[in-house]
């Protein structure tokens, strides 16, 4: 007899530990879209953080952003509810903090910058976490939050999510929980206002990834939609094979063909939103 266990509830430590264990060390080439997003986020964060100071990356996952932000004289705290991925970050100047974002156990007024890349909508109480983070900011500090643009501009993740959602019941989001497209910059400003935060700048970015085949699509998708990726990888091999077989037809219906027509072009677009305590607008450093 085979024992079955219910999947850990979405957002729990067990859920994220399981996702990171499955996806943790997959190696291979850096996906185009996740790489471009990371580079953009790191550039804006680097500018906001200034030369030294303390930066906390909230929901740091495998620590790619935290590592990208490491500089002499700067402390980067990679914080996540899942301890597993933090344990393998071995970069000078980067410290791991395994903690729920709602209870970070840091002294008030210590952070010059908080970053949150692909993380805000995964939190059960994003407004509450923004309030907690505001209390941790040093004078002149900022919070940099990444959000996705609307679904029509994010076909790279929407296409696979729609396909997986039809066959994997685990991917049904509990009622009332935010999804990746449920918070836009106006919504973020509304969530942040009760904490005394203002949205003081938004920078937009986008990329179109060239997809050659089904494995190439999943490589791009998995790096940006980990919960869905983990659900696919947990599915029985026969179902995974059926998904792979169905994917080219789905991509044909939804995505433009690449030049030469051997593959597809999958785009994704994002907003990088800078929040600061109301009244501190003058402290922002203009883009170079």
Ligand X SMILES: C[S@@+](CC[C@H](N)C(=O)[O-])C[C@H]1O[C@@H](n2cnc3c(N)ncnc32)[C@H](O)[C@@H]1O
Summarize as ranges the residues that interact with ligand X (CB under 6 A).
Answer: 11, 16, 59-62, 64, 80-82, 100-101, 117-119, 122-123, 226
Nearer Cβ to ligand X (31/119): 119
Least CB distance from residue 116 to ligand X, whole Å?
7
Nearest to 284 by CA among 187, 188, 190, 198: 198
What DSSP designation does 84 have? H
Nearest to 11 by CA among 131, 165, 129: 129
CA distances from 126 to 102, 109, 144, 176 (A): 9, 20, 14, 13
Q: Which two tokens mark 241?
A: 């094979």
Per residue in 135-166, is it b (16+ CB within 10 Å) or e — as a string?
Answer: ebbeebbbbbbbbbbeeebbbbbbbbbebbee
Nearer Cβ to ligand X (15/263): 15
Q: Which two tokens mark 104?
A: 């970070």
H/E element, 152: none
Least CB distance from residue 124 to ligand X, whole Å?
7
Distance CA 26, CA 254 (A): 27
Q: Which two tokens mark 53?
A: 């100071």
Nearer Cβ to ligand X (57/159): 57
Least CB distance from residue 222 to ligand X, whole Å?
11
Nearer Cβ to ligand X (147/263): 147
Least CB distance from residue 95 to ligand X, whole Å?
15
- Decide: helix, strand or coil at residue 199: strand
Per residue in 86-120, is it b (16+ CB within 10 Å) or e — as a string?
Answer: beebeeeebebbebebeebebeeeebbbbbbbbbb
Least CB distance from residue 236 to ligand X, whole Å?
25
Nearer Cβ to ligand X (104/277): 104
Nearer Cβ to ligand X (82/143): 82
In degrees rounded to 5, what are phi and psi of residue 264? Answer: -130, 165
Nearer Cβ to ligand X (125/252): 125
- Decide: helix, strand or coil at residue 43: helix
Nearer Cβ to ligand X (111/264): 111
């Amino acid at each position: 007899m085979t024992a079955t266990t219910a999947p850990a509830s979405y957002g729990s430590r067990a859920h994220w530990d399981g996702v990171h264990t499955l996806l943790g060390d997959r190696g291979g080439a850096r996906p185009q879209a996740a790489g471009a997003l990371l580079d953009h986020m790191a550039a804006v964060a680097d500018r906001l953080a200034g030369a030294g100071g303390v930066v906390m990356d909230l929901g740091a996952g495998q620590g790619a952003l935290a590592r990208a932000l490491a500089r002499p004289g700067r402390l980067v705290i990679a914080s996540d509810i899942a301890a597993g991925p933090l344990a393998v970050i071995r970069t000078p100047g980067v410290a791991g903090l395994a903690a729920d974002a709602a209870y970070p156990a840091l002294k008030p007024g210590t952070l010059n910058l908080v970053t949150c890349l692909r993380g805000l909508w995964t939190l059960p109480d994003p407004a509450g976490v923004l309030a907690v983070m505001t209390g941790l900011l040093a004078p002149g500090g900022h919070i940099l939050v990444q959000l996705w643009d609307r679904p029509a501009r994010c076909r790279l993740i929407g296409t696979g999510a729609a396909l997986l959602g039809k066959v994997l019941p685990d991917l049904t989001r509990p009622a009332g929980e935010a999804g990746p497209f449920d918070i836009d910059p106006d919504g973020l400003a509304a969530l942040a206002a009760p904490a005394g935060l203002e949205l003081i700048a938004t920078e937009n970015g986008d990329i179109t990834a060239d997809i050659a085949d089904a494995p190439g699509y999943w490589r791009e998708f998995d790096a940006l939609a980990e919960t869905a990726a983990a659900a696919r990888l947990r599915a029985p091999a026969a179902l995974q094979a059926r998904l792979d077989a169905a994917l080219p037809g789905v991509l044909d219906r939804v995505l433009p063909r690449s030049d030469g027509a051997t593959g597809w072009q999958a785009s994704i677009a994002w907003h990088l939103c800078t929040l600061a305590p109301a009244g501190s607008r003058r402290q922002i450093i203009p883009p170079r």
